[in-house]
Structures are given as structure tokens and as C-alpha cells.
Amino acid sequence: MYDPQAEPDLIEFENVDLCDEKYVEGPKFRNRRTSIFVTFADPSIALVDVQKMMETGMNIARFKTSHSTTGDKVRLLKKFDKAANILAAKYGLLYWPCATCIELKTCVANTGILEEDAFEIHIREGTDIIMTSDVQMYNKCNAENIFVDNPYLTSDVKVGMLINIAADEIITKCTAILNNKNIKCHVVKGGQLQNMAHVCMRGAKRTRPYLTKADLHIIKFAVEYQVDMIIINYARHVDTVKKIKRYLGSKVKRPIIVAGLCSEQGIDNVDSIIREADAILLSREFASYEVPMHLYHKMSLVQSYIAAKCRQVGKPFYLSGEIFKNALNTGVFHAREFSDVTNAILQGTSALVLGPSANVDYLMAVMRTINDLCASVEPLTNDRGEFFRNVSQLKMPLNAAEACAVSCTFIANQTKSRIIVCPTVNGRTTYLLNWLRPPHVIIAVTTKIRTVRILCTQRSVIALLYKGAPRRNWFRSVQARIDYAIQYAVENHWIQYGDHYVTLEKGTEASPFCDCVRVWTVTTVKKNTIECPESYHDFALNDYLEIPPIQKRSPAVKKRSISDAFKDQDLDTILAEVLQRTAEDEKHKTYIESF
């Protein structure tokens, strides 16, 4: 993914001037900051193909399993875990960092299966067709009758509404509602109809419940098999997110909830949805064909608007649909696709979601292209004015954790540090750091595998699993994790002798959050090649020094006061003891003088 002989990333904290050629032809980043989702639609995909995708740079595996059985989902997850274990052993890691994601169907509608096992049929322009929600027509789709798996079809569609099939491949216009299951449409634009094509209704107000029983079954599956992320397609109202949270209850390890904006209803309620969801996904494969025509030509503005809303409140913004779509299907790259992805990166997109591809080689080529494109464009996002603009948008007063994250990011920019090291338990600290979108690589060190996977969903974060030997005290344990991260960065040439780096950690064991920011300099490298002991990855620099033996101290004699000596005794008893001791002393003195 990178040239091991290349120089580490150059971090410049200044106002970006695109008129200056150094920003256009300047050095690239060695590591991509933007995350990549890869969609798995075929449960029978080969294990070696999954391994190749993970090795090329896949951060999150998105399982598109709405039409698969529970057994298919389990086998796909096991295949993913096996590939991660193979790569971890190959590269000498404890765990290969990669997250999993599953999506809810909600209002997503598809056509049925073509009759006579046909691959595709041609729908001629100018003809009339019948769209039906009758399940008996599920596998009998033809040029006159098309099944749509939306039981609320007749209540969602209005006469005169445009219905798009397979992303404008076929466009029809509703002319009549025949009964409670069938509608009549006129074909405005003809095309090829294939199995399970997406159906979008432009300007429709969906009447389907926010969550169905099938959605709750998928959520239960995600919790049972520890899926890291749940995408809600067609998140129309904030109540959808709230219902999922109530269903999950107070589970500590609940998945990340991503609200997918696919229709005009979701865009209208974007403010409340952003506040409640953990992240936002703009699904352009649906939204472009669901919004009214007056918004269809302004989708680029809508995208910028939602991205700005997410940056303002510090929520990740993901983008899907039309991302190198032609290259994924044919292997040919178009100039407009490069422009689209470049604009998305400059707008602050945290992750790009790639659609499914039948050709693994095409998918690998797209991922390598994104790696190179991000490395060229992401240095332009480190603008001094943009940083202070983001700080000014923070709501006051800040809590202590947010203030420490702001301080850490500002100090890292001022010192031009190459990396930020953050020991973490649940990933909340790196989440706060990403609020200000630092250009630095954030190395998060944790002891929990689930946290490693959660960290993979965050921008600029490289998650490391640490399993070093326990130390004598808490401070040494934290320092050992930081030393491990620095050794890993030196080994991968992300940082070198004399470079600055910043750590954000807890000041004391009793601190409820990371409240200590330190600036360090790489002063020495013990060995060119790091050797791992059998106990594995215990890279603390203090381990190379001889630990002095602990000296045992003799127990101190406790001094007693007069009040403690005569405690719980009455006055007569005390006087009797004093007189007795005085008589004994006089007798002893007389005995000594007789000699």
C-alpha cells in the first residue's frame, strides 16, 4: 500500500493556497486517512478474494444480506474472521484490524425474479406495464408484469409519479391505481430489466413502518454475532434510531448506528437524525432517484450541506452510490469519477462506500486508485483557517474531555507532529479527536479486540491490539502501550529520529477520561528490526534495562502517645500503676547504689 523507502508524512499547519504549485505537486501522504467500505453481496465469495481485499486496504466489510439466509450470513462472517486471522499471522500481528457492517432493508424495494430463468428482458419505451405487490408474481416478472416487494406500493405511489428501476435504466410514470396490489404505468424510457433491480419512487412519502420484524431479526443477529455497525436504509425520522436504541437497551457493546439518508423525508429531518445517530450515510444510489426533480439537479449541494452539518456536530459522514461505478462494472475509469471522489474528500467525507462488483480484479484496481487519490488530495484538507472554523463551531461550554481533544489537536498542529498516540479503552477519545479532523495519523492502542474493530470505522485511526506483560504500576502500563505504538510507527517508517509526536492519555489512574497531553521527540531507536519475544509484542523500552531489585524495609516501630497508653482506664487505676512503678524504680536505684 505504500513505499517503505518513502519519507514520512509532511504535516504543514498553514493556510492552503491552491494558487501555489506546492499544494498541487507537493508530497503525498503515505497513509490514506479516509476509510473504505467494501460491499459483499455474494456469500459464496472465495476466502482468498476476501484476504486480497483486506490486504489492499478495506477498512469495513459491508454485508448486503437482505436476501440471504441466516446460514449464509454466519458463513460469510466466519470467512471474514478466518481471512483476518490469516493476515494477522502473515504480518506478525495479534489481530488484523477490520470492522463488519450489516444493513437493514426498511423501505428498500426490489423487483422480483424473471420468468423462465431469463438473465434480462427488454422493456420497450411507450408500452404500458403492470406493477404488482402480489407475492405470487415474485418469480414471474416479464415485459407486461413486474413484481415489486413493497406491500405498501399502492399507498406510496400517486398518479403521475415517476418510478425508476435500476437507477434510471427504466423510467415509468404511474397512470392509474387499479386495486390494493396493482398499479398501471407507462414506460417513459425503456431499458434492460434484470433480477432484483432497485425500485425508487420520486417524491414518494413512505407509509411503511419505520422498522419491520425482518429488521428486528437482523438487529438481533448483529448483536448475537458482534457485528460492529448497522446501517439503516431510508432513515426517514429520528424515531427510527430511537426505536433501535430502545430495542438494544443498555448493551455496552452495541453496534454503531448509521442513519442512511435515501429520501426527501430523511433530508428534511437531517438535524434531528444527526443528533441521535452515531454516523450519517448519504445513499446516492437511492436519494438521487427519490428526491423531487427540483432537488435532483442540486444533489451536489445537498451532499455539501449534509457533510457540513456532520462536521459541525462532529459526526462521521459516509458516502455511497456512483463511486467508481463504471470502473467496478467494466474496469474502465472515467474522469468524472475522479472529480466526484476528489470533491467528496475535500468536503470532509470520512469513508467511501464501494458497491458490489462481480470482478475482484476490478474492485482491487478501484481500491488502489482510491489509495493514491486520497494520498494526493488529503494534504489539501489540512487548512489552518478550516481548523479554527471548526473550533469556533464547538458549542460552549466544552466539557473537560472535549477541551483536552482540542488542546491535543492544536498542539500536534503547532509542533507539526507526525502522529498522535492515544491509549484507549472504548475508542471514545479518538472519536473526539476526529471532531477536528486532524491530518495526523492517530495510533490507538487498546487491549480489546472489539475496540480494535470499532476504531477501524474512524477516519485517520490505526488500531493496535496490545497484549504485553503487566507492569508494576499503572503508569508503567500506559507507558508500555505508548512505547509499543512508537516502535510500530518507527518500524513502518511513519516517524523517524528527531520527529515530534503527541500523546493523549490519562494523567492518573482515577481520571475518567484522557486529560493529559504530552509532546515527545523520537530520540533513539533500540534496534533496526524489532524482535518479538515469545510472550509477543512487549516493546516497552524499559524492558531493555535491568530492573533494580526491590529493597525490603524493616518494619517501623509504631510510637504510642500517653493518651494511647492509658486509653480506656479510670483515674484510680492509672494512679496506682504510677505509684507502683515509682516504688519499683526507687528500689532498683537503692540496689544499684549498694555496690
* Overall average pLDDT of the 98-113 stretch: 90
Report residue 104 as a C-alpha cell. 437493514
**Model confidence at 542: pLDDT above 90:** no
Q: How confident is the model at residue 341 (pLDDT cuts 50, 70, 90)?
A: very high
> Does residue 441 contact residue 9 with C-beta atoms inside 8 Å?
yes
Report residue 282 as a C-alpha cell. 448519504
- Res 571: pLDDT: 57
Q: Identify the residue with better confidence: 393 or 49.
A: 49
Q: Identify the residue with better confidence: 492 or 444.
A: 444
- Res 573: pLDDT: 67
Q: How confident is the model at residue 252 (pLDDT cuts 50, 70, 90)?
A: low
d(CA 493, CA 476): 25
- Strand, coil or helix: what is 259? strand
Residue showing cell 508524512? 9
- Res 592: pLDDT: 43
The Cβ-side half-sphere exposure at 589, using a 13 Å CA radius, reads 6
The per-residue pLDDT for range 193-217, each reduced to its tens digit, is: 999 899 999 988 888 888 888 889 8
d(CA 560, CA 557): 9
Report residue 441 as a C-alpha cell. 495519523
- Res 144: pLDDT: 92
The per-residue pLDDT for range 140-151, each reduced to its tens digit, is: 999 999 999 999
| Amino acid in the structure at residue 283 | S
- Per residue, the 3-state secondary structure of 38-66, as one string, reads EEECCCCCCHHHHHHHHHHCCCEEEECCC
- Res 553: pLDDT: 47
> Does residue 413 contact residue 68 with C-beta atoms inside 8 Å?
no
Neighbours of 27 (CB within 10 A): 15
The per-residue pLDDT for range 47-81, each reduced to its tens digit, is: 999 999 999 989 999 987 666 778 888 888 889 88
Which residues are 279's β-sheet partners?
A: 258
- Res 560: pLDDT: 44
Contacts 24+ apart (CB under 8 A), 210-216: 210/106, 210/236, 210/237, 210/239, 210/240, 210/243, 211/104, 211/106, 211/240, 211/243, 211/244, 211/247, 212/105, 212/106, 214/105, 215/104, 215/105, 215/106, 216/247
* Overall average pLDDT of the 323-337 stretch: 91
The per-residue pLDDT for range 346-361, each reduced to its tens digit, is: 988 999 999 988 889 9
Beta strands at 279-283 and 317-320: parallel, antiparallel or unpaired: parallel
The per-residue pLDDT for range 11-53, each reduced to its tens digit, is: 877 777 777 777 777 778 888 899 999 998 888 888 999 999 9
- Res 568: pLDDT: 53
* Overall average pLDDT of the 99-105 stretch: 90
* Overall average pLDDT of the 75-102 stretch: 89
> Does residue 337 contact residue 327 with C-beta atoms inside 8 Å?
yes
Q: How confident is the model at residue 113 (pLDDT cuts 50, 70, 90)?
A: very high
